[in-house]
Structures are given as structure tokens and as C-alpha cells.
Copies of this chain bind each other. A is one copy, B any other.
Amino acid sequence: MAKPYDIRMSNAGIDELHTTTVIDEQGNPRDIAITGERPLTIYLDKQEIVTLMTLGTHPELLTIGYLRNQQLIDAPEDIISVQVDWEVNAAAVTTRNPDRDFSNLTAKRTVTSGCGQGTMFSHVIDSLDSLRVQCPPFSAATIYNILNQLRDYNEVYKQAGAVHGCALCNKDNIHLFIEDVGRHNAVDAIAGWMWVNHITGNDKIFYTTGRLTSEMVIKVAQMHIPLLLSRSGVTEMGLTLAKQTRIGMVARAKGRHFLVFSGKEQFIPQ
């Protein structure tokens, strides 16, 4: 594995759960854990870009992955530092091109994401051929192996619920598992980690606790990952896009059961 890019990063990940007192249906008080959720405002070379609501476990990777996926930074070597300060709920990113004016970029951006998701969507549909991967052969044993290993993760979920988990795996190991209040954040943080550490997607498997909608499939395709595994269900458009990009899609994966939705010809039952 190549040496990670030399980016000065804070290490401001927080892992805490909060405790609150509730009363149950019979009126009895009970202390329970609840999931943290806090705003993180990203400043890129001192220009405010966005505020994300996050659990806060990987704020630096989330920031980098967000800027990557929004195409506001072209290459990881452009980043000098990412400093997260929870006193002001801010992530300050400095780059080697501090004179770029993001008011234009973000105006354009918002036409794409906020007001023209259709446009973005058509673009992605148009570019799906370039995102095409090839689902490799995969066995039931591989899926069971990943599901078994994932049992040790999902810590916040087990204690407090209200989060989604995403994992980057290969057929033998879990490389990284990230939980967040929004699965988009979890995906972005994993994309940030891959970018900073020169990790390619073509031999990986992506796991999520969340549903496989069109947006999830597009994000995974953009990471060049050929096999997608979910504890939840799929939508029809998610499935259509998976077939078009030749991503293998395994869903409703829980315990000893799962269903193969695409890449069926690559599946090796035990």
C-alpha cells in the first residue's frame, strides 16, 4: 500500500454516545443511550461550502470525501491541511490553490445538486458506460465471511440505533467501517479514506445497512467498486442501474440469508 498523502489532519473524531432519561409505556423512567448528531461546517480556503449533520466519528475523512465527491478538489495532493474544531463545529481545509473563487463553483454546484438533480442524474445516466465495472465471481462463503466479521462492528447502532453503517471490504477482511446519521456521510467518509490512502475500488466489496436506491448505486459505481452488499432492500431503479453498470448486488443480507439481485451468473452457491 502506497504511503498516504501528506495532509496535516486534526484527529477530532468523537465516539461518544449521549445518555438521556426517558419513560416507558408504563411510566417507568429509564436511562438509555442516544446517538450524537452535530453540525459540521466545511470551509475551503476560508470560503463556507456546506454544513453537514454528522455523528462526528471521522470528520476529517468526511470533509475530504465530501469535497471529492462534489468535485470541489481535484486531487488529494492539492490538500495541505484539514483541521476540525468542535468548539465552533467547523472543518477548515487549506489547499495549494487558495485563490479559487468558490462562489461560482458553488453556484454551479447547487444548480446541480439542489436545483438540478435531474441534470446531474441525466449526466450520470449518460456517463454510466464509463462507470461500468465487472462484478467478479463471488461465493456464498465470501458473503457469510463478511457478514460474520461485521457482527463486531455496528457499535453505535447496537447501543443507540438511529445510524447507518457502511463498510469497505475485500473478500477476506473489513478494511473500514463507518457509522453516521446519514449514510451519504458514511459513504463520503469512506471515499475520503480511499482517496487519501491510494485505495482503489475494483477489488473491493461495499457493505451498507441502508437501502440500495439509485443514489447509493451511483456512488458505489463512482468508487469503481464492483460488488454491493446490503442488509436492506433495493429499489427498482437501484437494480436497473446496478445491471447497467454490471455491479453485483446482494441485498436483504442478514444472518444466514441473502438474495442476489444482479450479478447472478457470477454467484457461486456453496
* Chain A residues engaging chain B, CB cutoff 8 angstroms: 18, 20, 22-27, 30, 32, 34-39, 41, 48-53, 106-107, 109-111, 113-119, 121, 140, 143, 160-162, 181, 211-215, 232-239, 252, 256-261, 264, 267, 269-270
Contacts and interface: CB of A to CB of B under 8 A. Distances in A.
Given A23-B260, A24-B259, A50-B114, 6 more contacts: A24-B260, A25-B256, A25-B258, A34-B235, A37-B235, A37-B238
A118 B41 contact: yes
A192 B252 CA distance: 33
Contacts of A261: 20, 22
Given A24-B259, A160-B233, A237-B53, A118 B39 contact: yes
A239 B115 contact: no
B257 A51 contact: no
Contact of A239 (B34, B111, B264): B34
26 contacts: A20-B261, A24-B258, A25-B143, A25-B258, A26-B270, A27-B269, A34-B236, A34-B239, A36-B235, A36-B237, A37-B236, A39-B118, A39-B121, A48-B118, A53-B213, A53-B237, A106-B111, A110-B110, A113-B114, A114-B115, A160-B233, A162-B232, A162-B234, A162-B235, A181-B213, A181-B235
A113 B116 contact: no
Contacts of A211: 161-162, 181
A94 to B, nearest CB: 19
Given A161-B233, A211-B161, A259-B22, A117 B37 contact: no
A41 B115 CA distance: 10
Contacts of A18: 236
B233 A34 contact: yes
A213 B55 CA distance: 11
Contact of A115 (B24, B32, B50, B212): B50
Contacts of A41: 118
Contact of A257 (B25, B35, B50): B25
Contact of A267 (B23, B51, B215): B23
B51 A116 contact: yes
